[in-house]
Amino acid sequence: MARTKEFNEDQALDKAIEIFWHKGYNGTSAQDLVNHLGLSRSSLYDTFGDKQKLFVKSLKRYQKQNLDSLNELFENAENIKTALTEIFKQAVIESLQDRITKGCFMVNSAVELAMHDPEIAKIVHDNQKVVEDVFCNAVRKGQKLGQISEKQDARSLARFIFNNYSGIRVLARAGEKDKQVYDDILKAIFSLF
Amino acid sequence: MARTKEFNEDQALDKAIEIFWHKGYNGTSAQDLVNHLGLSRSSLYDTFGDKQKLFVKSLKRYQKQNLDSLNELFENAENIKTALTEIFKQAVIESLQDRITKGCFMVNSAVELAMHDPEIAKIVHDNQKVVEDVFCNAVRKGQKLGQISEKQDARSLARFIFNNYSGIRVLARAGEKDKQVYDDILKAIFSLF
DNA sequence: AAAAATACGGAACAATCGTTCCTGAATTAG
DNA sequence: CTAATTCAGGAACGATTGTTCCGTATTTTT
């Protein structure tokens, strides 16, 4: 039979996520992928098909990773409102820590590709719905526990949270490094709960 | 002396805005520009230098157009809160009306290019500051007139508004066509004022 | 009318794009 | 050992990229 794969496909995908996230789809060349993944051209194409397929696989993997950690966070949280603030605070920390910030891979891909690639559009839209649901369930739970005000409809609040999360990721991608800007936004957001 | 230009430079720039807005910088080829602007390759390069310079000019023009209309709106508004809701409602209408939606040229450019092109980064950042200032002054005025609650700091509220506007434009670019999603977000936003 | 200047269309450029293919070495299972 | 399979490396593909250049037409000033 054949020899076994010498590289781990998931590790390679993580590398692909990194560079696509950083440079975008159109900004990443095949040579960039070869250099960054550490695979030969042939292995790369044999394993993943072509650039678009590799991108789709990367984005799906990213989506799953993020969703899993989001679900885990809410499951282990005893206070929902605190958990929500943690999510945003973490985003702010990430936005400030590096000289450059990549923002959110999903948001970046939505802006760059959703209009022109139906497959990407579906991934983005599905992600939006499922993340919105996670937020919505969390908010409902928080409201039942008396941790979140019931003045706002849970679905509405979930969509609102999602929207502000997107906005902050764009701000980060745009290179905003003033902590006060983020803090002001967060202050306004959480005055609603 | 020489003959006069047969095309209007500003009209050509408006055409450039259209296609860059639609396809992004990396997604727009020189051939796309020739086709869409209706100029020859030579005229295009003679007039605007190169692709990057044309993009910068387009983005700056877009920024000025948007800022002017924003200022005009607030100047003519007797009620600031109403004016703010109008801005968001207009964004929602635009998001829903066409089969495809381009979102915001500035947001798209920020996501695609700010990390990799310092000149674009500066335009994006300058725009953010000046738009934030416009919002801030408007909010202050609205608070003085008793049209906007004074519970929130004007600067904080301005940044919050900007953030949600970005988020909505990303949502539109991602192809969201469910009016209820936008309405839910708007409901949450304006419950703060 | 002559001269200067610019617009135009299109050919042509080198470079890079994504992708395919070939070769030989490596590794595994039977 | 043999056969099968996958690896890495790199040459090579045609297509497209952004850009330059040239010849000609056109318009304006002297």
State the pLDDT at residue A152: 93
pLDDT-derived band at A10 (thresholds 50, 70, 90) equals confident
From CA B28, how far away is CA A40, in angstroms rounded?
Answer: 29
**Within a domain: residue A118?**
yes
The stretch A179-193 carries a mean pLDDT of 96
Any strand C atom closer than 7 Å to B42 CB: yes
B-chain residues near A27 (CB < 8 A): 26, 112, 116
**Within a domain: residue B17?**
no
Decide: helix, strand or coil at residue B162. Answer: helix
Any strand D atom closer than 7 Å to B45 CB: yes
Q: Percentage of chain A with pLDDT > 70? A: 96
**Within a domain: residue A17?**
no
Q: Could you tell me if A126 and A60 are in contact, meaning their C-beta atoms sit under 8 angstroms apart?
A: no
pLDDT at A139 over 80: yes
From CA A89, how far away is CA A95, in angstroms rounded?
Answer: 10
A75 CA to chain B: closest CA distance, Å? 25
State the pLDDT at residue B156: 98
**Within a domain: residue A27?**
no
Rounded to 5°, the CA angle A67-A71-A72 comes to 115
Across the A:B interface, residue pairs with CB atoms under 8 Å apart total 148
Place of tokens 């953010």: B128
Any strand D atom closer than 7 Å to A190 CB: no
Binary contact (A184, B159; C-beta < 8 A)? yes
Q: Could you tell me if A117 and A52 are in contact, meaning their C-beta atoms sit under 8 angstroms apart?
A: yes
Q: Is A119 on the interface with B (CB under 8 A)?
A: no
State the pLDDT at residue A98: 82
A3 CA to chain B: closest CA distance, Å? 40
**Within a domain: residue A9?**
no
Which structure tokens are listed for A72? Answer: 């885990």
pLDDT at A4 over 80: no
Interface test with B, best of A128, A159, A176 (most B CBs within 10 A): A159
**Within a domain: residue A95?**
yes
**What integer best gives the mean pLDDT of chain A?**
94
The stretch A15-43 carries a mean pLDDT of 93
Q: Tell me the per-residue pLDDT of B129-183, one tens digit each, with 9 for 90 and over.
A: 999 999 999 999 999 999 999 999 999 999 999 999 999 999 999 999 999 999 9
State the pLDDT at residue A193: 83
Q: Tell me the per-residue pLDDT of A75-98, one tens digit each, with 9 for 90 and over.
A: 999 999 999 999 999 999 999 998
Give the CATH number, domain containing residue A131: 1.10.357.10
Q: Could you tell me if B177 and A177 are in contact, meaning their C-beta atoms sit under 8 angstroms apart?
A: no
Which amino acid makes up residue B14?
A: D
pLDDT at A57 over 80: yes
**Within a domain: residue A148?**
yes
Residue at minimum CA to C1' distance from nucleotide C7? B43
Residue at minimum CA to C1' distance from nucleotide C16? A29
Any strand D atom closer than 7 Å to B2 CB: yes
Q: Could you tell me if A155 and B184 are in contact, meaning their C-beta atoms sit under 8 angstroms apart?
A: yes
Number of domains in chain B: 1
pLDDT-derived band at A100 (thresholds 50, 70, 90) equals confident
From CA A62, how far away is CA A50, in angstroms rounded?
Answer: 18
User: Containing domain of residue B75, as a range?
Assistant: 59-190
Distance in angstroms: CA A38, C1' D1: 34
Any strand D atom closer than 7 Å to B28 CB: yes
Distance in angstroms: CA A36, C1' C25: 24
The stretch A22-28 carries a mean pLDDT of 95
Q: Could you tell me if B8 and A97 are in contact, meaning their C-beta atoms sit under 8 angstroms apart?
A: no
Q: Which of A168-177, B2-11, B94-103 has the lowest mean pLDDT?
A: B2-11
Q: Tell me the per-residue pLDDT of B38-96, one tens digit each, with 9 for 90 and over.
A: 888 998 999 999 999 999 999 999 999 999 999 999 999 999 999 999 999 999 999 99
